[in-house]
Amino acid sequence: MPAGWHDVAERQPRFVVFGELHGTEQGPRFVGSLACALAMHDERILVAIEQSATDNETLQTAWMAPRHEFAQALVGIGWAGRSDGVASEAMFDMISDLHTLKEQGLPIDIVAFNGMRDEEQYRRFADLPGQGPHEAAQAENIEDAASAGGYDRVLVLVGNFHARTQPLDSRGIVVDPMARRLSQYGEVVSLNMRYGDGTSWNCLLKQDVVTELGQPVRDEDIECGAHDTSGNAAFAREPFIEVYSTSGQQEAASYDGYFWVGPISASPPKVSDE
């Protein structure tokens, strides 16, 4: 267990949300290691990943495949054509490692929860403003999978925008992020990723590109790759969790705490566009 997990467990959360910076080796590694440790302590664990909910049925079929077939089956589920750091080698390795642990008898399952899973869900959330329908669908997809399995703990790995626990006001449009929506289904502890200087794989505007307000950004103006990334913390210690002790800290940060992963290194896409 990482240092600080005891403070999370004391709150008895049903859901623990890890808001990561996409495209690093360290984010998925942290969550995968924790899932393993909890399962080794006889907790039944569901790991929720930010892959398309429309691929979840195929993912579940692959999850039941034997070890020697799983990796090849996984390649065909939402990995091709993504260069934004979500479908990274680190994510692929985390899922593959969890499948290996499942094959060895540990109580670990997985669910892909991102976006609308079908038209019926889309219609039910269509009246929410802005990004609201997407956030609501994410939360419901996680809850439905959690309720179906009777898990002791659900670990959610997601971009840190979706992990926020406070409403977001964007130009007068107020949206409840996924983690806030998820709290209607059970106790949530949401942790933001903190990291040291390093690199991350992401898609940025090329340096010489000047955008015009209101004009779409062209694909050729974007460069996806390993970029230098300034850290947001500097702790000289191994990865750990810190849960905020006061409501003032929590309100200011829009998270219940953070998880420190150390200096980061970029993880490229598992399936190249080339």
Domains in the chain (CATH in brackets) are 5-263 (3.40.50.11550)
Instruction: Say what the pLDDT of residue 212 is.
Output: 73
Query: Whose structure tokens read 């997990």?
Result: 5
Distances (CA, A) of 49 to 112, 189, 205, 238: 5, 17, 27, 24
Instruction: Say what the pLDDT of residue 153 is.
Output: 96
Separation between Cα atoms, residue 130 and residue 71, nearest integer Å? 37
Separation between Cα atoms, residue 102 and residue 98, nearest integer Å? 6
Give this prediction's pTM.
Answer: 0.93
Instruction: Say what the pLDDT of residue 210 is.
Output: 77
Separation between Cα atoms, residue 256 and residue 174, nearest integer Å? 21
Structure token digits, residue 103: 């094959």
Instruction: Say what the pLDDT of residue 274 is.
Output: 47
The answer to whether 116 touches 122, Cβ cutoff 8 Å, is: yes
Separation between Cα atoms, residue 49 and residue 138, nearest integer Å? 10
Q: What is the pLDDT along the chain (274 residues), one digit of tens a residue?
A: 999 999 999 999 999 999 999 999 999 999 999 999 999 999 999 999 999 999 999 999 999 999 889 988 888 787 777 778 888 999 999 999 999 999 999 999 999 999 999 999 999 999 999 999 999 999 999 999 999 988 999 999 999 999 999 998 877 889 999 999 999 999 999 999 999 999 999 888 887 777 777 677 777 778 889 999 999 988 999 999 999 986 655 555 689 999 999 999 999 998 765 4
Cα angle value 201/203/209 (rounded, 5°): 140
Length of the chain in terms of residues written: 274
Query: Whose structure tokens read 């942790």?
Result: 191
**Interhelix angle 89-103/26-40, nearest 10 degrees:** 10
Instruction: Say what the pLDDT of residue 77 is.
Output: 83
Instruction: Say what the pLDDT of residue 168 is.
Output: 87
Name the phi and psi angles at 211, rounded to 5: -95, 155
Separation between Cα atoms, residue 6 and residue 1, nearest integer Å? 9
Query: Whose structure tokens read 């750091």?
Result: 85
Structure token digits, residue 48: 């929720």
Separation between Cα atoms, residue 9 and residue 245, nearest integer Å? 14
The answer to whether 183 touches 202, Cβ cutoff 8 Å, is: no
Instruction: Say what the pLDDT of residue 247 is.
Output: 60
- The three-class DSSP label of residue 146 is helix
